[in-house]
Amino acid sequence: MPNSSDGPWWADAIGYEVYIRSFNDGNGDGVGDFSGLTERLDHIADLGVDLIWVTPFYPSPMVDFGYDVATFVDVDPLFGTLDDIDRCLARAHELGLKVIIDMVPNHTSDQHQWFVESASSPDHPKRDWYLWRDPAPDGGPPNNWVSQFGGPGWTFHEATGQYFFHAFLPEQPDLNWRNPEVVAAFEEILTFWLDRGVDGFRIDVTQGLVKDAALRSNPELRPLTDGMSRFEQWDSFEHRHDIMQPETLDVFRRWRRLADSRNAVLVGETYVLDAAALRHFLEPNDGIHIGFWFEPMHTEWDAAALRSVLADPHREAGANVGWVMSSHDDPRAPGRFGGGREGAERARGLFTMLSMMPGLPFLYMGDELGLSDGQVEPDRFIDPVVFRTGVVTDNRDGCRTPMPWEPGSPMFGFTSLDDGWLPHGGRTDADTVAAQSADSDSPLAHMRRLLHTRRTWFASDLAGVGSVTFGPIDEENPSVIWFDRGPLRCVLNTADTLAEVPVPAGSTVEYRSLADFTEVELASSTASPDVVSLRAREALIVRRGGEAT
C-alpha cells in the first residue's frame, strides 16, 4: 500500500475494476471466470495497483449479466466455485492486492427465492420484502416512476393482481429497504463474505436503496415521448421520491460499523453528478468510506469544466472521492475524448491528474492499455438495455469486450475458443498486454511508470498530505489547469498546442505523461528555467522550487 501515514489502508491506493466476464477465461467456455482472473493477477500487481473490484459473480439468470442475483452467498458455475474464490483471494493477498466484491442490494433477480416466495401470495410473510402495490384507479401503475433502463418502473403481476417496482429490468425487482428483515438479511450476507476474506464491497446503486414511504409520484419535468433514450426518459422527472432518501444513510451507518470492525472498505456507486450530493452518503463520516464521482465520464474536454470536475468533489468530499474515467457501464475515456491518439493522450493526461487527487482513483481493466471501446456489430448486441429502448447509443457492449492479452490467437489470449461471449471488438496485436509490455513507450509502460513513481512519492513527500490546492486558470494560459499537493505541482495542458507555463524558480520535472522513458526534460522549447513546456494534451508533475511565481 502506498501510504506510510496512519490513514486507512486505502488512503492513496489505486483501484482496478475487473469486469469478470471479460477479463480472462480460465475454463475455455468463452466467459471470464475466477481461475482466469487468478492466472492474470500478476498483471494487475505489476501495474502498481493496490485493490481490485470484481463485478458480480453470484448465481444468476444473467439477464443483466450478473447484476440480477439469484443468491448472494454462492458463485455461478460459469465463474467457478467458492474454492476458486478462496484461491483467488489467497493469491491476490500474496501479491499485496486487496479484493472488494460487488454487492447488489437494491434489487435481486426475479429467480431469487425471496422473490419467488414474495410473488407467491399477497399474504406470504416475504410479500413486504419487495415493493408491491395495487393498480392505480385506472388500472395503470401505482405511480409515475420510470426504470433506469427505460420504460415504466412497474410491472403488473397477473397471478396476484398487484404491480411490483423495478428500477432496472422487470427481472430485477427492487427490495423494500424499509423492511428490517431485509436490512438484517444483508448484514448476514456481508458477514459471510467478510468471513471469507474479502476486503470490502463496491455497493451497486447506492443512491437508490430506500424509497419514499408513500411511493409518491415524481414531479414531471417534460412529457415522455416515443424514441427517447433511457437517459432522456430518466431526465424527464425530478427524482425526488425514488432515489436519495435520507434513510438510505441509516443502512450504510450499520454497514459502516460492520466494515470498520473488519478493516474493510465500502465504496459506493453514488450516481450523482452534483458534487454536494456526494456528501449525503459520507457525512458525518459514518456512512460509506468512498463515493464514486462519475463526472469525469461525462465532462467535455475543456479546461474550466475539467478543473471543476476535479476541484468540486474534492471541496465537498475530500479524500472520500472515488475517481473513475471508464467503467463497464459507459464508453471508455479515450473514445469519449475524441478517439485515436488524441483521445488516448487526453485520457492519459486526465488520469495522471486524477491519480494525484486525494481519494481512491480506479482504472477500468484495459485503461492501462489506452483502449477505446471495442466495436460490436448490431447482430452481436447482447446488452439488455438496447433491446428495452431500441436506442443503440444506450448499448454497453462496446466497453465490455474482452481484454486482449497476447498476439497470435483469435481472441488475443482471452479464451482458447475462436470467439467469446462478446467479440474482441477489433483489437490488434499492439493492443495486447504482451506487446505493450515489450514496448517502453506503450500506454502500459507509461501507466506502470506513473503508478510506481506515485508510490514512491506517497511513501515519502506526500505521506499524510490529504488535500490539494488548485490554482486559478490563468488568462495567459487558459488551457492549463493545475493543483499543488505537498511539494508537487500537477499540471495539465488541455490544448492541442504547446503551452509554456510558469513555475516557481528552481522547479524540477518529475513526471511527464507523454515523455518516453529516456527523456528527462523537454529541453528544446523551455524558454527560461522558471517556465516549463507542456506538449499538447500533456500532464506534468514538477517538484516546486523555492520561490513563488
Q: For ligand GLC, which residue of 67, 72, 132, 323 counts as binding (CB under 6 A)?
A: 67
Nearer to ligand GLC, 84 or 269 (CB): 269
Site for ligand GLC in 92-151 (CB under 6 A): 104
Residues in Cβ contact with 468 at an 8 Å cutoff, skipping those fewer than 6 apart: 314, 356, 357, 358, 483, 484, 485, 490
Rounded to a whole number of angstroms, the minimum distance from the CB of residue 81 to ligand GLC is 24
Site for ligand GLC in 296-335 (CB under 6 A): 328-329
Nearer to ligand GLC, 46 or 329 (CB): 329
The answer to the question of residue 177 lying near ligand GLC (CB under 6 A) is no
Q: For ligand GLC, which residue of 204, 431, 484, 538 counts as binding (CB under 6 A)?
A: 204
Residues in Cβ contact with 92 at an 8 Å cutoff, skipping those fewer than 6 apart: 38, 41, 52, 98, 99
Rounded to a whole number of angstroms, the minimum distance from the CB of residue 144 to ligand GLC is 21
The answer to the question of residue 64 lying near ligand GLC (CB under 6 A) is yes
How crowded is the C-beta side of 349, counted as CA atoms within 13 Å? Answer: 29
Would you call the peptide bond into 284 cis, given omega within 30 degrees of 0 as the criterion?
Answer: yes
Chain position whose Cβ is nearest to ligand GLC: 67
Nearer to ligand GLC, 50 or 269 (CB): 269
Return the SS3 of 303.
Answer: helix
Torsion, CA 419, CA 400, CA 32, CA 186, rounded to 10: -150
The answer to the question of residue 510 lying near ligand GLC (CB under 6 A) is no
Q: How many CB atoms lie within 10 A of CB 87?
A: 16
Rounded to a whole number of angstroms, the minimum distance from the CB of residue 223 to ligand GLC is 26
- How many residues at the interface with ligand GLC, by CB under 6 A? 9
Rounded to a whole number of angstroms, the minimum distance from the CB of residue 337 to ligand GLC is 21
d(CA 489, CA 498): 18
How crowded is the C-beta side of 491, counted as CA atoms within 13 Å? Answer: 33
Rounded to a whole number of angstroms, the minimum distance from the CB of residue 295 to ligand GLC is 16
The CA angle 453-456-459, to the nearest 5 degrees, is: 150
The answer to the question of residue 399 lying near ligand GLC (CB under 6 A) is no
CB 432 within 8 A of CB 405: yes
Nearer to ligand GLC, 349 or 366 (CB): 366
Pairing of strands 98-103, 499-502: unpaired
How crowded is the C-beta side of 368, counted as CA atoms within 13 Å? Answer: 31
Nearer to ligand GLC, 149 or 483 (CB): 149
Rounded to a whole number of angstroms, the minimum distance from the CB of residue 278 to ligand GLC is 16
d(CA 322, CA 313): 10
Query: In 234-312, which ranges are E strands?
Result: 265-268, 290-293
So which residues are the catalytic ones?
204, 269
Strand ranges of the sheet holding 488-493, from the earlier edge strand across to the other edge: 469-470, 480-485, 488-493, 539-543, 508-512
Q: Which amino acid is at 503?
A: V
Rounded to a whole number of angstroms, the minimum distance from the CB of residue 384 to ligand GLC is 8
Nearer to ligand GLC, 61 or 487 (CB): 61
Site string for ligand GLC, 453-472 (x = CB under 6 A): --------------------
Q: For ligand GLC, which residue of 85, 205, 265, 462 counts as binding (CB under 6 A)?
A: 205
The answer to the question of residue 168 lying near ligand GLC (CB under 6 A) is yes
d(CA 281, CA 182): 20
Site string for ligand GLC, 21-50 (x = CB under 6 A): ------------------------------
Rule CB under 6 A: which residues touch ligand GLC?
64, 67, 104, 168, 204-205, 269, 328-329
